[in-house]
């Protein structure tokens, strides 16, 4: 099983949202924090459908990329993607 790091954010007047620096345009949302990881995993699988596999970045790279999001209260979340084809490391 592969994983991607997502950036989770929540404003007081909105649902939980998550986006993936490695997968431009891939995002998901959920009203309940207990649902966000499952929905995010589905979003990754759909985003990757019909595309070549994308090697996930390591935590250090994601932290550097997401510095501004983290400063605004974002949190890095590890999201599984069981449907991802084999990747070369």
Q: What is the DSSP string of 25-69?
A: T-EEEESSTTTHHHHHHHHHHHHHTTS---PPPPHHHHHHHTHHH
pLDDT at 85 over 70: no
The architecture that CATH gives domain 2-81 is 2-Layer Sandwich (3.30)
pTM: 0.86
pLDDT at 83 over 70: no
User: How many other C-beta atoms can be found within 10 angstroms of the C-beta atom of residue 31?
Assistant: 10
- pLDDT value at position 89? 45
User: How many other C-beta atoms can be found within 10 angstroms of the C-beta atom of residue 34?
Assistant: 9
- Is 79 in a helix, a strand, or coil? strand
pLDDT at 81 over 80: yes
pLDDT at 69 over 60: yes
pLDDT at 88 over 90: no
pLDDT at 66 over 80: yes
Domains of the chain by residue range? 2-81
């Amino acid at each position: 099983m592969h994983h991607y790091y997502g950036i989770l954010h929540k404003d007081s007047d909105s649902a939980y949202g998550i986006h993936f620096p490695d997968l431009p345009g891939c995002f998901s949302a959920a009203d309940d924090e207990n649902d966000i990881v499952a929905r995010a995993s589905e979003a990754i699988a759909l985003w990757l459908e019909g595309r070549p596999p994308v090697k996930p970045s390591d935590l250090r790279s994601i932290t550097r990329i997401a510095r501004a999001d983290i400063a605004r209260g974002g949190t890095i979340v590890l999201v599984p993607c069981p449907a991802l084809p084999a990747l070369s490391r």
